[in-house]
Amino acid sequence: MEKIRIGIIGGAGYTAGELLRILVNHPRVEIGFVQSTSHSGQPVTHVHNDLVGETGLIFTGEPRYEEAELLFLCQGHGKSRLFLERTPLPAGTRLIDLSADYRIAGEGHRFVYGLPELQRETVRGASQVANPGCFATGIQLGLLPLAAAGLLEGDIHVQAITGSTGAGQQPTETTHFSYREGNLSAYKIFEHQHQAEILQSLLQLQPQFSSGFHFIPIRGNHTRGIFVSMVTRFSGAGEDARELYEEYYREHPFTVVTDINPSLKQVVNTNKALVYTEKHGNQLVIITVSDNLLKGASGQAVQNMNLMAGFEETCGLQLKPSAF
């Protein structure tokens, strides 16, 4: 069976850990190296201790590019651009960037925006893919069917709650246990960095959209998972919305339209997103749930890798949720 050899740049963070959890058991992947400057020479399991017994990989300080056909860039925002500006890569090396550096088109790069539910065929032929943000993924999955049908008719109001892992592994005042536990707080109201990529995708599908987009992000008191609730005007019946969403996602294996109001535990630890709609008067309520580290980051990156490599899209991603 044909396999692809991969390397990970920036292997000590949450997204790299989730990638490794998937890829050590992926039937069509060989891991060439996992790079970490701060942990060079240490076993990967010293950082990602959930992998004890799963792998004997050792962090390398210097990337071994000859051992990888595809690189996952798992460094912080801003670092991928610096890395690629300073690093000559072997010809033909494919890239999947999990930072925000290349998500916006038209900035002098060749990266394809890697939301398969938006442009799966473009991802298949890409050599460089910018993985979407976690909030952006959950919000877009709730809006793409309306935009594709030209049915975004008015302002969009969004509130989304994320787990603490969405802020990365480095501790901060607002990710500290004493702050998060039993607590909720809003931040970056109407100014979150993921708004640009969300609007980019909506305008790609519905160029005439000009209404307001109002997003309030919420820090949750849980570790992982994003719960998105949205309201926007919709002139059709509730059944029309449901049929529209089911048709749009019919061929997309990881986005499931449900008629049961979903909860976060249905998707945590999976690459699955659930989408639910409910009509009230002239307003459509849309709810999506997804795991910020999987469908919102590393799981989607593997999904993109599968597409780029010509593998089955779901390969290695049959993950079990934590229902209780």
Active site residue ranges? 134
Q: Is 109 exposed, middle or buried (0-12, 13-18, 19+ CB in 10 A)?
A: middle
Amino acid at the residue 177 = F
Bridge partner list, 8: 34, 72
One-letter amino acid for residue 248 of the chain = Y
Residue 89: Cβ within 10 Å count: 14
Structure tokens at 201: 């995708």
Integer angstrom CA distances of residue 29 from 132, 188, 197, 270: 22, 38, 30, 19
- Residue appearing with tokens 């008191």: 221
Closest CA to 301 of 14, 52, 81: 14
On the CB side of 257, how many CA atoms lie within 13 Å of its CA?
21
Question: Rounded to whole angstroms, what are the CA distances from 262 to 123, 199, 265?
Answer: 29, 25, 9
